[in-house]
Structure 1
Amino acid sequence: MTVPAERPLDEVAARTSFARFRVASIVEGIALLVLVGIMTMRYVVFGGDAWFTSTSPFWEQVSSVWSPIHGLIYMVYVVLGFDLWMKMRWGLPRMLLLMFFGVVPVLSFFGERWTHQRVESDLARRPTIQDQERV
């Protein structure tokens, strides 16, 4: 019984997909830090006696505007992570890890660097369409 050959990756498509993911990672990281700052101002700095009782209508309004914007940014981040995952043909745990990077503040910055290393090592190690064209 023979093992089927691994289908080559499209290096150009993978690098383009990673470039989009890289931008989304940075934007998501910044957006999440802004959201954490807003929530800190709303509930800790200007909060009432109870933990989830806000007495500042300004921070309530800022939170109600920014939260959906951040949610949209995260959804774009997930879609671009899914696109990269598909182009690189990684396993499901890697996709879950890419999504997790966008959930913890600051982790998306480290996750972007880690993902960059994985993309580069996979493109160097695995066959690509461009390798076949160069021969």
Structure 2
Amino acid sequence: MPTTRPLDEVQARTSFARFRVASIVEGIALLILVAIMVMRYLVFGEPGEQHELWGTISSRWSPIHGLIYMIYVVLGFDLWNKMRWKLPRMLLLMFFGVIPVLSFFGERWTHGQVERDLASRPTLQDEERAEA
């Protein structure tokens, strides 16, 4: 029977803290992007000065949002790796950053999963607590 190596609770919690911040920032950035697109295409959809202004704002914000999402993906991968979850969980973490507002709910759900896994799986800190 293969034994599973214990998780490092400190690394996992640190990784989750970074992911939590990234989730909030990504959620806000995506909401800003949606607002810009609404202004550009629905409010000022007709060609004109305002449409051009929102086009410029969109062309500046879109790459910034893309960078924020890439950071979110990297931090999600880091958390996934530290928690040693299966691939579907990684895909779910990435999906949380795609739909506006979902990253906020996904962060709360992920927090519960991290806490549940740290409570039910062996950690290095369990061994240290037992020795103390």
Mark yes or no: TM-score above 0.5. Answer: yes
The CA distance in 1 between the partners of 2:31 and 2:128, in whole Å, is: 44
Q: What residue in structure 2 maps to residue 51 of structure 1?
A: none
Q: What residue in structure 1 maps to residue 32 of structure 2?
A: 34
Q: Does 1:61 align with 2:56?
A: yes
Report the CA distance between 1:62 and its aligned residue. Answer: 0.2
Indicate the percent of aligned positions where both proteins have the same amino acid.
Answer: 77
Q: CA offsets per residue over residues 39-73 of structure 1, 9 Å max, x none?
A: 0000111002xxxxx54110000000000000000
Q: What residue in structure 2 maps to residue 11 of structure 1?
A: 9
Which letter maps to 1:21? Answer: F
Runs of 4+ in 1 over 2 A off after TM superposition: none
Report the CA distance between 1:15 and its aligned residue. Answer: 0.1
Q: What residue in structure 1 maps to residue 77 of structure 2?
A: 82
Q: What residue in structure 1 maps to residue 43 of structure 2?
A: 45
Q: CA offsets per residue over residues 58-107 of structure 1, 9 Å max, x none?
A: 00000000000000000000000000000000000000000000000000
Report the CA distance between 1:5 and its aligned residue. Answer: 1.2
Report the CA distance between 1:119 and its aligned residue. Answer: 0.1
Q: What residue in structure 2 maps to residue 115 of structure 1?
A: 110
RMSD value over aligned CA atoms? 0.7
The CA distance in 2 between the partners of 1:80 and 1:44, in whole Å, is: 34
Report the CA distance between 1:133 and its aligned residue. Answer: 1.2
The CA distance in 2 between the partners of 1:122 and 1:20, in whole Å, is: 18
Query: How many corresponding residue pairs?
Result: 128
TM-score (norm 1): 0.93
TM-score (norm 2): 0.95
Q: What residue in structure 2 maps to residue 92 of structure 1?
A: 87
The CA distance in 2 between the partners of 1:29 and 1:134, in whole Å, is: 37
Which letter maps to 1:23? Answer: V
Gaps of 5+ in 1: 49-53
Greater helix fraction, Structure 1 or Structure 2: 2
